[in-house]
Amino acid sequence: MLCLPTVLVQPPSRNSASPCPLHPLVQASNQLKTEGNQLHAQGRFEEAVAKYERARSNVEAFSGKEAADLARACTLNLSSCYLNLKQYDKCIEQCNTVLAGGLREGGGDRGSGAGGAS
């Protein structure tokens, strides 16, 4: 298994020397998030929503910090997409999911919505 650090828009400080094995589905979800970020930057918000929702859905069954951070980032990115699409109710739903702590390490209720662009 290839060991890569989790890549977030503003990654937390990590010691790059320590390995962090990630499940291939989590790695693939990181790639989906990156693709969503590119679409978001191009103003292609509906396409970005599909990438973020798929990435978040892929990692919902996983516990651990990397999966939780990825799910949280996708939820925040979805909220940004919904804001730009003027779908305010969906935007608020995603923000509330994050604020309520529904995307915690080790699982828990993740809410029924999706997130914005990180």
- Three-class secondary structure of residue 92 per DSSP: helix
From residue 61, alpha-carbon distances to 33, 43, 57, 71 in Å are 17, 30, 8, 11
19-33 residue pLDDT tens: 456 788 999 999 999
Angle, helices 45-59 vs 24-41, to 10°: value is 160
Residue 80 CA to residue 117 CA, distance in Å, equals 6
29-54 residue pLDDT tens: 999 999 999 999 999 999 999 999 99
54-113 residue pLDDT tens: 999 999 888 889 999 999 999 999 999 999 999 999 999 999 999 998 665 444 433 334
- Three-class secondary structure of residue 8 per DSSP: coil
pLDDT for 118 equals: 62
| pTM confidence score | 0.70
Class of domain 24-116: mainly alpha
